[in-house]
Structure 1
């Protein structure tokens, strides 16, 4: 009787391990698609602030903390920042201006993949939220309008 229990448990463990390896094919868990953001010919570094992706892969950070210690990229007043993704989201991204850690404000956009920066000089932070069938992600950028 003891042999049958050991044999059964051994087979169950083997099936579990094989199904786990087959599920992931030895590859790392997928993450949210990369975002590309630029103003004219200036590439703006993008931080992935938070995401939740299938199989429970996640990262949680506010956009404020994701970029607060990063160097702001200089962009001209009233310039247009274009947003694109390695893979397009299921719908238009939601763009907000990040004021503080707890204060994000919706901004009006003419095109859902563009931000027109203000004419006032200063440092501005923005969050871009997007959804895919596998999950969602929130990106953050920091610019210095001059």
Structure 2
């Protein structure tokens, strides 16, 4: 009886750990985007992800990257401020684009999980694509530099 109780406790701990670690997730992690103490809202985009038992691709349709960012409020940041992007599971690679309006886009450097916003005032939309061994995910957030 005592042996069964020990085995039951061990199995219970393993099950709890599996749900905490979430190895069965079929979606990439969502980043936490911050500037100082300000948490910047993020919109999740399309992704492909392979879990241990299944995989899937989800195509989220938006008319543009800027429209995708419009789902959340732009966060106010100071000119030249660092915006930090962190994931619970860090990606192997992350690329970022900066959009101003619907037509002007340029690649921006991601250094030490951070992006430096411009000195010039305005609304800037950032499109991130993160790559892991299991797949990739895209995300958008916007900032209002003032």
Structures share a fold, TM > 0.5? yes
Query: How big is the shift at 1:69?
Result: 4.3
Deviations 1:5-47 (A, max 9, x none): xxxxxxxxxxxxxxxxxxxxxxx86211110110011000111
Aligned residues: 118
For 1:16, the equivalent position in structure 2 comes to: none
In 1, distance between residues paired with 2:102 and 2:136?
20
SS class of match (2:66): helix
Aligned CA-pair RMSD = 2.2
Instruction: State TM-score, norm by structure 1.
Output: 0.71
Is residue 129–residue 137 contact of structure 1 (8 Å, CA) maintained in 2? yes
Q: Work out which of the two has the higher radius of gyration on C-alpha atoms and give 1 or 2.
A: 1
Name the residue aligned to 2:86.
84
Give, in angstroms, the shift of residue 136 of structure 1: 0.5
Q: Is the 2:42–2:72 contact (alpha carbons within 8 Å) kept by the matching residues of 1?
A: no
Q: TM-score, normalised by structure 2?
A: 0.71
Where in structure 2 are there 5+ consecutive unaligned residues? 1-23
Q: Does 1:115 align with 2:115?
A: yes
State the match for 2:107 in structure 1. Answer: 106
Deviations along 1:56-94, one digit per CA (max 9) or x if unpaired, are: 231334532221243211111111001111211123x10
Q: Deviations over 1:92-112 (max 9, x none)?
A: x10110235565311234x15
Provide the residue aligned with 1:64 in structure 2.
66
